[in-house]
Chains A and B, each alone.
Chain A
Amino acid sequence: MKVSEKYYDEIFDFKGQWDVPSRCGLKIIRKPGGTFVIVTELYQDNPGTSVTYAGRSLATQICEAKGLELAAITYLECNPDTNSKLSFYDEEYFEVTFRDAPPPAYRLLASEEVKALFDE
Chain B
Amino acid sequence: MKLKLIYPRWEKLKGQTTFNLPPHGPVAFAATLPGDVEVSFTDENVEAIDFDEACDLVAISMMLSTQARRGWTIASEFRQRGKQVIFGGIATMLHAEETMEHADAVFLGESEGRVDELLKDWKEGTLKKVYNYMMRQPAIEAVGPARRDLYKRELYNHKGVQMVDLFHASRGCRFSCYPCAVSYLGGRIFRPRPMEKVIEELETIDNNRLFVVDNSLAQNKEWEKVLFKEMIPFKKKWISHTIEDDPEILDLAARAGAWYVYQAVYDTSDYIKERVKRYHDHGIGVEGTILLGLDNQTEDDIKRLVDFLLEIDLDLAEFTIMTPFPHTKGYDDLLRQGRIFDFDWNHYNAGQVVFQPKNMSADRLQELYDYAWESFYRDESQESKMFRLFCNVALREMNEGTYRPRNRALANHSFGKEVVRKTLTN
The answer to whether A87 has its CB under 8 Å from any CB of chain B is yes
Task: Report B-chain residues with C-beta under 8 Å of the C-beta of A44.
Answer: 176, 188
Q: Do A94 and B329 touch across chains, with their CB atoms under 8 A apart?
A: no
The answer to whether B51 has its CB under 8 Å from any CB of chain A is no
Task: Report A-chain residues with C-beta under 8 Å of the C-beta of B135.
Answer: 20-21, 47-48
Task: Report B-chain residues with C-beta under 8 Å of the C-beta of A19.
Answer: 132, 134
The answer to whether A40 has its CB under 8 Å from any CB of chain B is no
Known: A1-B176, A18-B108, A108-B337. A52 touches B296 (CB 8 A): no
The answer to whether B96 has its CB under 8 Å from any CB of chain A is yes
Interface string of B330-366 (1 = CB under 8 A from A): 1111011110000000000000000000000000000
Q: Do B327 and A53 touch across chains, with their CB atoms under 8 A apart?
A: yes
Which chain B residue has the least Cβ–Cβ distance from A1? B176
CA distance A27 to B187 in the complex (A): 27
Interface string of B130-144 (1 = CB under 8 A from A): 101011000000000
Q: Do A53 and B338 touch across chains, with their CB atoms under 8 A apart?
A: no
Q: Do A87 and B295 touch across chains, with their CB atoms under 8 A apart?
A: yes
Contact for B335 among A17, A48, A52, A79, CB less than 8 A: A52
CA distance A25 to B335 in the complex (A): 20
Q: Do A18 and B336 touch across chains, with their CB atoms under 8 A apart?
A: no
Task: Report A-chain residues with C-beta under 8 Å of the C-beta of B96.
Answer: 18
Interface string of A70-104 (1 = CB under 8 A from B): 00000001010000001110000010000000010
Task: Report A-chain residues with C-beta under 8 Å of the C-beta of B335.
Answer: 52, 103, 106
The SS class assigned to the A binding surface is mixed
CA distance A17 to B336 in the complex (A): 18
Contact for A50 among B108, B294, B327, CB less than 8 A: B327
CA distance A84 to B401 in the complex (A): 48
Interface string of B186-208 (1 = CB under 8 A from A): 01100000000000000000000
Contact for A86 among B188, B296, B331, CB less than 8 A: B296
Number of interface residues, chain B, beta carbon within 8 A: 25
Task: Report A-chain residues with C-beta under 8 Å of the C-beta of B187.
Answer: 47
The answer to whether B283 has its CB under 8 Å from any CB of chain A is no
CA distance A88 to B337 in the complex (A): 12
CA distance A88 to B176 in the complex (A): 13
The answer to whether B160 has its CB under 8 Å from any CB of chain A is no
The answer to whether B178 has its CB under 8 Å from any CB of chain A is yes
Known: A18-B96, A77-B336, A94-B336. A87 touches B176 (CB 8 A): no
Task: Report B-chain residues with C-beta under 8 Å of the C-beta of A12.
Answer: none
CA distance A52 to B334 in the complex (A): 11
Q: Do B188 and A47 touch across chains, with their CB atoms under 8 A apart?
A: yes
Task: Report B-chain residues with C-beta under 8 Å of the C-beta of A79.
Answer: 333
Contact for B176 among A18, A43, A77, A108, CB less than 8 A: A43
Task: Report A-chain residues with C-beta under 8 Å of the C-beta of B330.
Answer: 88
Instruction: State how many angstroms separate the Cβ of A39 from the closest Cβ of chain B.
Output: 12
Q: Do A53 and B326 touch across chains, with their CB atoms under 8 A apart?
A: yes
Instruction: State how many angstroms separate the Cβ of A103 from the closest Cβ of chain B.
Output: 6
Which chain B residue has the least Cβ–Cβ distance from A50? B332
CA distance A1 to B188 in the complex (A): 13
CA distance A50 to B184 in the complex (A): 9
CA distance A50 to B326 in the complex (A): 11
Task: Report B-chain residues with C-beta under 8 Å of the C-beta of A87.
Answer: 295-296
Q: Do B178 and A88 touch across chains, with their CB atoms under 8 A apart?
A: yes
Task: Report B-chain residues with C-beta under 8 Å of the C-beta of A103.
Answer: 335
CA distance A18 to B135 in the complex (A): 9
Contact for A53 among B108, B296, B332, B337, CB less than 8 A: B332
CA distance A82 to B13 in the complex (A): 36
CA distance A17 to B337 in the complex (A): 22
Known: A1-B176, A52-B332, A52-B336. A20 touches B326 (CB 8 A): no
Known: A18-B134, A20-B135, A53-B326. A88 touches B108 (CB 8 A): no
Contact residues, A21-53 vs B (CB, 8 A): 21, 41, 43-44, 47-53
Instruction: State how many angstroms separate the Cβ of A24 from the closest Cβ of chain B.
Output: 12
CA distance A57 to B210 in the complex (A): 43
Known: A52-B332, A52-B336. A88 touches B295 (CB 8 A): yes
CA distance A42 to B80 in the complex (A): 45
Instruction: State how many angstroms separate the Cβ of A76 from the closest Cβ of chain B.
Output: 11
CA distance A44 to B331 in the complex (A): 17
Give the interface centre of B108, B130, B332 by most chain A CB atoms within 10 Å: B332
8 A-B pairs (CB sep. < 8 Å): A19-B134, A47-B188, A52-B331, A53-B327, A79-B333, A88-B178, A88-B295, A106-B335
Which 8 A-B residue pairings sit nearest by Cβ, starting from the closest? A52-B332, A106-B336, A18-B134, A20-B135, A87-B296, A18-B132, A20-B134, A94-B336
A52-B336, A88-B295 given; 10 more Cβ-contact pairs under 8 Å: A20-B135, A48-B135, A52-B335, A79-B333, A87-B295, A87-B296, A88-B296, A88-B330, A106-B335, A108-B337
